Structure 1
Amino acid sequence: MTTVEEPGRRERKRLQMVAHLVSVAGRLFETQPYGSVTMEQIAVEADVAKRTLYNHFPTKEALLAHWLEAELKHDLERLAPELQRRNGFVARVSAELDASADWCGRHPEHLAAYLRHRFLSLGEASPQASTQADPDRGDIAQLWYMLIAEAQASGELSDRCSTKQLTTWFHHLYLGTLMRWLMEPTIVLRKEFAQMVALFMDGAVQRT
């Protein structure tokens, strides 16, 4: 007699496998050049069949994206107390951008591969759809949204545009700044982020 596994239990097992694969891949990404890490190596290190790995992540870039987003979530959690101590949108968003600049400075190759993956997958069905319930995923745009909403509520930012619209524009500025830095690595990313925030504020500041 075949035992039918409960959907909830299957989902928990799937998430456990995803977390295991991401953890193994992340360890390899941190200790080896990104280009030298292969899917076959990840499968061997994770002690799973290649088919199992590809069933969860069709490409190495998809694994990288999941790992980076999980790292981002953990970083944002560690940064939360510092954000709470700061007053105002500029001070709070600058704390996160400084931390982002430090991470990008240590992982330029990973960042370039991640951005290529994100832009090449534009218009496709989101690979995150099947992992929406995964608590280890993070999205920096969620932080932008929260900070912008708080700034609009306090009157620091104008409410002429919706929070969602301002978040989209700010996120595009963020991604554009990262791409400019990757193409011109002599740029000081912290200073570039500061100029980006100044540009955003000049257009979004509340005017009396």
Structure 2
Amino acid sequence: MEPVDRPGESRLERKKKETRRKIITTALDLFRRQGFDNTTMEQIAEKADIARKTLYNHFPVKEAIVDEYMRDISSELAGKTMESIKKLPDTRSRLMAALDKAYQWVENNPEFTGICLGYRMKNMCRGSKDESAEKGTRSIVSEIIRLGQENGEIRRDFPVSVLATQIDILRSAVVLDWLKDMSKFELRRKMAGVIDLFLNGATNRKNADQTKG
């Protein structure tokens, strides 16, 4: 995937972007051919024909390369999905469509998903700020919640960012569980349960109805 150049970018900015693209492409090729654990930063630098200092200036560790690659994929999927979900009738159907599309890719790339999640969790524990939090799937989820609030489907006493974070926590927990044993359940079907849990809460609706009766 090739990020789009922005109008007004300086020559230096374009050069940095080209170098990052080259690093990511080279690293992914090595990861796929010889395995993530068997690939070193030195090998990536040599294969990309750049100085090791240049590589480390862009990415401190190889996990960061996978993280940026997945953010690019997520942003690309978000761009393709955003307009189509607005045509759907309600919040549930929009969330279903958005997450199904995103996690179809995850199902096909479990190794990169595990590497990326582990890296992000380490950064969170260190208190690092996520500069890309509002991109990709998160941006779609936030927009869907905003639309739901406008239509009166979603409560308005909590900001969009808080509600989007709740979905983030739920879906991350499901993915981590799935990565432990991918035969345990179908990921995209489980995400449908995450949506129901977010929209309806953890209350057993059948029992609640019987109690009211």
Asked if Structure 1 and Structure 2 have the same fold, meaning a TM-score greater than 0.5 normalized by the shorter chain, the answer is yes
Distance across 2 between alignment mates of 1:102 and 1:81: 19
List gaps (5 residues or longer) in structure 1: 1-6
1:178 corresponds to: 175
Distance across 1 between alignment mates of 2:59 and 2:41: 9
The letter for the 2-side match of 1:172 is I
1:165 corresponds to: 162
8 Å contact 1:70–1:138 — kept in the other structure? Answer: no
Distance across 1 between alignment mates of 2:140 and 2:197: 19
8 Å contact 2:85–2:97 — kept in the other structure? Answer: yes
2:65 corresponds to: 63
Identical aligned residues as a percent: 27
1:190 corresponds to: 188
Query: Which of residues 84, 97, 119 in structure 1 aligns to 2:121?
Result: 119
2:24 corresponds to: 22
Q: Deviations over 1:12-55 (max 9, x none)?
A: 32222222222322344455533333322322221112221111
Distance across 2 between alignment mates of 1:183 and 1:61: 19
The letter for the 1-side match of 2:172 is L
TM-score (norm 1): 0.81
8 Å contact 2:22–2:48 — kept in the other structure? Answer: yes
Distance across 1 between alignment mates of 2:135 and 2:43: 26
User: Are the structure 2 counterparts of residues 19 and 51 from structure 1 closer, same or farther at C-alpha, using a change threshold of 3 Å?
Assistant: same
2:76 corresponds to: 74
1:147 corresponds to: 144
| 3-state SS of 1:85 partner | coil
The letter for the 2-side match of 1:117 is Y
8 Å contact 2:102–2:137 — kept in the other structure? Answer: no
Q: What is the CA-CA distance between 1:106 and the residue it aligns to?
A: 1.3
| 3-state SS of 2:158 partner | coil
Q: Deviations over 1:143-199 (max 9, x none)?
A: 211110111111111112111111111111111111111123221111210111101
TM-score (norm 2): 0.79
Q: What is the CA-CA distance between 1:101 and the residue it aligns to?
A: 2.5
Distance across 2 between alignment mates of 1:179 and 1:117: 13
